[in-house]
Chains A and B, each alone.
Chain A
Amino acid sequence: MDSETEFPVPNRMESELIKEYFETESRFIAVRSYYQIYQNVLIRKDAVSIIARVSRRIDSDTYIPYLAMNYFDRLCSRNTNIMKDKDVEGRSAEERFRLIAMGCLTISAKMRTKNFSVDQLLSAMKSRKGNITHQMVKKVENLILDELNWKMLPVTAFCFLNHYYPYFKEFGGFRRRCINEI
């Protein structure tokens, strides 16, 4: 099959959308200095580990943890005092930041899965020390939503796949099926 037919020239509707993605993408990325601070890199590493571990209990949809990390990065890079917020409960800094990572994950799971239940997830995690309650998750979810101004549909690298296909082609290219799978 000719791969050109799989990636036709974008129509006006698609072109307008890509143009908008380019204009708004920077709003959905962590601020530049965020990754240059060593402490942030450590916190981020831990968040990745928590989100990866807990997301295995939710759904096989790999976009859920990806989305959760997007929320986490945007949140922590824009509000450096987030850990001290009264809505983030916990006895130690570790517990508080774990709760934020959980909140990011429950929101991303709700965005992707219609019948996701925080209740079921928390029951499955009950055996772990330092229990997180529904109330704590609810408060932190609302805090995250407010801080991110309810912009929970980020423009990510995935939005540009079709647009950049001709460039991939120079390096061997992808099939339509691969792009769909991504």
Chain B
Amino acid sequence: MGINKLEDLKWHEHDIAIPKLSTNQAEFLFRFYRDLERVRIDTLSCFGNVISCIQRFSNERVAVKILPIPQDQIINGIPSSILNHASILKDLDHPNIVRLLQVVATEEDVYLVFENVNLNLERYITNPMLSIDTLERSVLRQALSGLAYLHSHNIVHADIDPFSILFKYTLEEPPVVKLCGIRAPKTSTSQGHPSYKAPELLMGSTNYSTAIDIWSMGCMFAHIIKRRPLFNAIEEHRVLAEIFCLLGTPTEETWPGVSSICKFIQAFNPPIQPKDLAEEFPTLEPVGLDLLSKMLCLCPNSRISAYEALDHPYLRH
């Protein structure tokens, strides 16, 4: 149970479960919302506080994200970055994308009010009470469907990890997957978790495309099957080493232009050979292995697109 009154806030100053709010933010929130709880932010990409709370007038639980306006820009009103961010989110209308219900601007902050979701994928997988066994395909299909919608709007998510895939469920119906953490289109630089970053990003390429999201989604697919992350390292160069150990090193034949992105790639002579994915994923049927290998294709131009993946036999039936 979260806190309900402004006066209670000072007793929780050192409690990490309670958001750190400015006076204006606290006054605004307690006027319109109750039962405030900070949403656990595990992803590196999230900016601003995300608070789960109940809207006083509707008694509906929502997630509020606070975007503070930088002090030096207050004179100019709402900054261009926040304006663009909110307009893009407001434009998106898809069952597998977390819905932005309302935007409220005050003198110092902009509040984005999202529909509430129950769990992120990481917690879903690790919770023994919730079975994901029968849902593997459905989760992947729904997440890819949301991603295809984003890509058709020319938006690269760039931060897909277990914390940006959320679940909304009721007792009667199977869970609905919702993608969150969407930022600006194409201009955004990826700050996502290294374990889910595409090889072209890990090699330092700045000229990336929607294919980076497919790679991350491939890592998610593997994560769901294995029940643990496919790549475990934290440092980027170690993740790259893990990728090469599993999928082999790329060559100019398998990835035209790779040596111009990554100078040291030619040092792997002879190149490392890829492992057999069937041995790595013994429980996954061959058609699933085929989709996984197409999503985890090292060369971004040959990687499957979100729409093609949705048409893949593994997801069609």
> Do chains A and B stick together as partners?
yes
Instruction: Enumerate chain A interface residues (CB-CB to B < 8 A).
Output: 11-14, 16-17, 20, 106-107, 110-111, 113-119, 134, 137-138, 141-142, 145, 149-153
Q: Check B152–A150 contact: CB distance below 8 A.
A: no
Return chain A residues, CB-CB under 8 Å to B77: 106, 118, 134, 137-138, 141-142
Q: Could you say which of B76, B80, B107 has the most chain A C-beta atoms within 10 Å of its C-beta?
A: B76
Return chain A residues, CB-CB under 8 Å to B305: 13
Q: Check B152–A111 contact: CB distance below 8 A.
A: no
CB distance from B225 to the nearest CB of A (A): 27
Q: Which of B266-309 contact A (CB under 8 A)?
A: 305, 307
CB distance from A145 to the nearest CB of B (A): 7
Return chain A residues, CB-CB under 8 Å to B105: 142, 145
Q: Check A114–B80 contact: CB distance below 8 A.
A: yes
Q: Could you say which of B103, B107, B149, B152 has the most chain A C-beta atoms within 10 Å of its C-beta?
A: B152
For the residues of B in contact with A, the DSSP-based class is helix
Q: Check A111–B78 contact: CB distance below 8 A.
A: no
Q: How far is the CA of A150 from the CA of B148 in the complex (A)?
A: 24
Q: Check B307–A153 contact: CB distance below 8 A.
A: no
CB distance from A17 to the nearest CB of B (A): 5
Q: How far is the CA of A150 from the CA of B78 in the complex (A)?
A: 12
Interchain CB contact (< 8 A) of B90 among A16, A114, A116, A150: A150
Q: How far is the CA of A175 from the CA of B87 in the complex (A)?
A: 32
Q: Check B79–A111 contact: CB distance below 8 A.
A: no
Return chain B residues, CB-CB under 8 Å to A111: 80, 83-84, 87
In the complex, the chain A residue whose C-beta lies closest to that of B106 is A142
Q: Check B103–A150 contact: CB distance below 8 A.
A: yes
What are 20 A-to-B residue pairs whose CB atoms are below 8 Å? A11-B307, A13-B148, A14-B152, A20-B152, A106-B77, A107-B83, A110-B79, A110-B83, A111-B83, A116-B80, A117-B76, A118-B76, A118-B77, A119-B76, A134-B75, A134-B76, A138-B107, A145-B103, A145-B105, A151-B90
Q: A-B pairs with the 5 shortest C-beta distances?
A: A152-B87, A138-B77, A110-B80, A13-B152, A118-B76
Q: Mark B99-121, 1 if CB is under 8 A from A, else 0.
A: 00001010100000000000000
CB distance from B287 to the nearest CB of A (A): 21
Q: How many residues of B contact A (CB 8 A)?
A: 24
- Extra pairs beyond A14-B152, A111-B84, A118-B77 (6, CB < 8 Å): A106-B77, A111-B83, A119-B75, A145-B83, A145-B103, A153-B88
Q: Check A13–B75 contact: CB distance below 8 A.
A: no
For the residues of A in contact with B, the DSSP-based class is helix
Q: Check A151–B91 contact: CB distance below 8 A.
A: yes
CB distance from A113 to the nearest CB of B (A): 7
Q: Which of B39-85 contact A (CB under 8 A)?
A: 75-81, 83-84
Return chain A residues, CB-CB under 8 Å to B153: 17
Q: Check A114–B81 contact: CB distance below 8 A.
A: yes
CB distance from B146 to the nearest CB of A (A): 13
Q: Which of B171-205 contact A (CB under 8 A)?
A: none
Q: Check B87–A113 contact: CB distance below 8 A.
A: no
Q: Check A13–B151 contact: CB distance below 8 A.
A: yes
Q: Check A150–B80 contact: CB distance below 8 A.
A: no
Return chain B residues, CB-CB under 8 Å to A14: 152
Return chain B residues, CB-CB under 8 Å to A113: 80
Given A12-B307, A13-B307, A17-B152, residue A141 in contact with residue B78 (CB < 8 A): yes
